[in-house]
Amino acid sequence: MPKERDILKMIWTNFIKSFRPRQITGNLIGKDRFGNQYFEIPPNPSIGKRKAERWFQPTGKNELDHFDKELPAEWESWLRGRRDNPPSEEELVKNQAIALLKKQNAAELEIKHAKPGAPPKEEKMQDFPMYPEYETRPGDKDK
């Protein structure tokens, strides 16, 4: 006796299954210097999935840390699909060395071109630019 397809039973079982938490497991692709782990589920055209799913697992346990997490530019471009292959460890080390060299060169140039007698530049950035010809508070220019 062949089994009949019961539409209501199929709808009911799919409805019940939708409440179960899904366990998404992906392939661990790599880690960055902050300890974040990067995962990917490759595309599978046979089931209609044309793009790879990519995400990262932050190191912090607090959920609010996920929003302010600093990501290396190479990993972020991989996550957003701007590059096909994940960054290699050599590439990350090389780019970090270049960034450090640029910071050192900028500091040396600032010292070299500083005006004599001028106070050293503050390291902290201001919220907005300050100009002497404009008032910071209304009515302060008159005083």
| The pLDDT of residue 141 | 64
| The pLDDT of residue 1 | 47
Alpha carbons 18 and 33: distance in angstroms, whole number:
37
For the residues 10-24, what does the mean pLDDT come to?
A: 83
Q: Could you tell me the sign of the dihedral formed by the alpha carbons of 124, 126, 129, 131, in that order?
A: negative
Assign 122 a pLDDT band (cuts: 50, 70, 90): low
Which range, of 3-7, 34-38, 112-116, averages the lowest pLDDT?
A: 3-7
Q: Where are the domains of the chain?
A: 23-60+70-112
What is the C-alpha end-to-end distance of the chain, expressed in Å?
A: 99
Closest to 72 in 3D by CA, of 29, 32, 103: 32
Q: What angle do CA 98, 72, 78 make, to 5 degrees?
A: 115
Assign 133 a pLDDT band (cuts: 50, 70, 90): confident
